Amino acid sequence: MGCIFCEFVKGRKKHKNNYPLIFIHKTKETCSFLSIPDNKKETHLLIIPKKHISFFEDLPPKILNDLAYHLLLSCKVIKEEYPAYNILLNNRKEAEQYINHVHFHIIPKKKNKEPAWVNLTKEQFEELSKNLREKFKKLSTKQ
> Catalytic one among 44, 70, 101, 103?
103
**CA distance linking residue 6 with residue 115, whole number of Å:** 27
**CA distance linking residue 75 with residue 105, whole number of Å:** 11
Nearest to 49 by CA among 69, 34, 26, 31: 31
Burial class (CB in 10 A: 0-12, 13-18, 19+), 104: buried
The yes-or-no answer on residue 103 being catalytic is yes
Catalytic positions: 103
